Chains A and B, each alone.
Chain A
Amino acid sequence: MTVTSPAKSKMTGLRAPSEVGIFTVLILVVVILCIMSPSFRTFSNALSLLLNGAVIAFLTLGQMLVLLTGGIDLSAGATVALTGVAAAMAMAYGAPWWVGVIVALALGLLVGAVNGFIIHYGRVPAFIATFAMMGVASAIPMVLTNAASLTVVDGAFSVIGQGKILSVPVPVVLLGVAACIVAVALARTKFGVHVYAMGGSAPAARLAGINIGRNIVTVYALSGFFAAIGGLILTSRLMVGYPSAGLGNELFYSIAGAVVGGVSLFGGVGTVGGAMIGAVLIATVTNGLNVLNVNSYWQSFVIGIIILAGVFYDTNRARLRGIPLAKRLYALTRRGSSSDA
């Protein structure tokens, strides 16, 4: 094994980037849906798909950063509700729309930073800390509004969710900018290398003198920040602060998007490109199920299956690496005879 492994790795190094596989799946799904449904292949549906996708993709972006460090943020969906309602409330109290935006973003950062502090300095597992935060962050808007939705009074606020720049919806533009910034930060800065290192081997990262606490707080704060942008988009699209927004599928979808996009739940592996393709895939599937008039109760079922498939691939990644897809699938049907040959 010791002799063959470097040679083997050189071959895998020449293989196409891992995003190509998931991108192919996305194209396939889009083509199939276009054939199956005339209403899917309309321009207005494409727009609504992208708009829905933008919220999921923002959550996925934050989720990805957290997953890369080996953590998870279960409070992202609740933060959407909290920040969306906070913006609406600020405006209801007479603040101009941009103050509402700042309030929401600051709140998102704060929620995330608190998560990071509890996880790193309090040594609480991420799963538990953010699970608890999910409860806290989803309760606050309910309590404040008595579970009633809050109408946004400042009309200018609608630009975030409904505006267009050169006929591209503002949320999509915002997402593009954010994704590019995160991609550059991950690939070209110290912060990026450190995030991957922490997910790859936390002890090694610590011994290398990386400031783990600061990075943990940063990634969770960013996750909260991106969730807040999601909350703003959602509130702005409906012009209503909706205290139960983000409590259903958003969190679920954001994790699904990251995982099918090739972000490892074990940390250290994944790219912005992959995660964004994954988010769009999830958005496409849910949208497709909608336009095909599939009972909405089936949506979670389908997404659940997709998550399982993604995680299954992730856990068996090492075993399946370097083998063409068809062979991989065949190998899986005949366990044991698969990889190490």
Chain B
Amino acid sequence: MDVPVIELTGVRKSFGPVDVLKGVNLAAYAGKVTALVGDNGAGKSTLIKGLAGVQPYDEGVVTFEGKPVTLHTPREAAALGIEVVYQDLALCENLDIVQNMFLGREEISNGTLNEGTMEREAAETLRSLSVRTVSSVRQKVSSLSGGQRQTVAIARSVLKKAKVVILDEPTAALGVAQTEQVLALVRRLAESGVAVILISHNLVDVFEVADYVSVLYLGQMVAASVPIAETNNEDVIGYITGTKSYNGGQK
């Protein structure tokens, strides 16, 4: 296996007396989709918030491209090229696609917004992901469908050459056709060289799109980076519910 772009070792996090993460390891590889699965309360969100720098870990080592780094603020995470696409999408419906994609990192020239550059970059990013479902980058997000919004959110994450993109339940609210579109987009995202971490409850999605699967169970990684070809639906469900344990791989 190659060197992971990002690797977590022995990550711990507790909220008061509650240990949410009890020494978790996680790795994500460039050009690969790593699915992170686990039941509600397993600690997925906490793990992700740590990666995003929103809620730093209490203990543990984060290695980025082989070097130890700190993730104490969202800014540090963003500087490394770690982007999170949240489940509720974190888009502003009253703004258009360009404004959303550049929100918080607008291109400025002479103190005012550089609309031309931003429009061009937004359109280029969408094109690089082969997105053809949006007709104009000046459309308001309120006028977009769920799948289109997900597309915008993902495009936003790769706008600034992200190296690690974390997708939190990207297909949770979508219909069948839109789920297919978004999964195809996730695939293209990985093929462009990004390390993708996909959080999902939907094992059909996971088996369709992921290269590896990592399973969290009550704050512990019970199966880490299992190649998807070496496992099956039944086993993964076993790991998620704690009725099976994984013996292979590097755990």
A→B interface (CB under 8 Å): 2, 5-6, 8-10, 12-13, 184, 188-190, 193-194, 196-197, 199-201, 203-205, 207-210, 268-269
Contact = CB atoms under 8 A, between A and B. Distances in A.
B58 interface: no
Kindly list the 3 A-B residue pairs having the minimum CB-CB distance in the complex, ordered from nearest.
A9-B143, A208-B104, A200-B92
Contact of B90 (A13, A193, A201): A201
Contacts of B116: none
Interface residues of B, number: 37
Most buried by A among B99, B104, B148: B104
A6 B145 contact: yes
A184 B113 CA distance: 11
* B interface: dominant SS: loop
Interface string B143-154: 111111000000
16 contacts: A2-B145, A2-B146, A2-B175, A6-B135, A6-B145, A10-B143, A12-B143, A190-B108, A193-B106, A197-B95, A201-B90, A201-B93, A204-B89, A205-B103, A207-B74, A210-B103
A189 B111 contact: yes
B94 A193 contact: no
B246 interface: no
Q: Is the contact region of chain A dominated by helix, strand, or loop, or is it mixed?
A: helix
Contact of A197 (B88, B99, B140, B143): B99
A199 B93 CA distance: 10
Interface string B102-135: 0111101001110000000000000000000011
Contacts of A268: 92-94
A265 to B, nearest CB: 14
A173 B245 CA distance: 76
Nearest to A1: B145
B178 interface: yes
A203 B90 contact: yes
A197 B145 contact: no
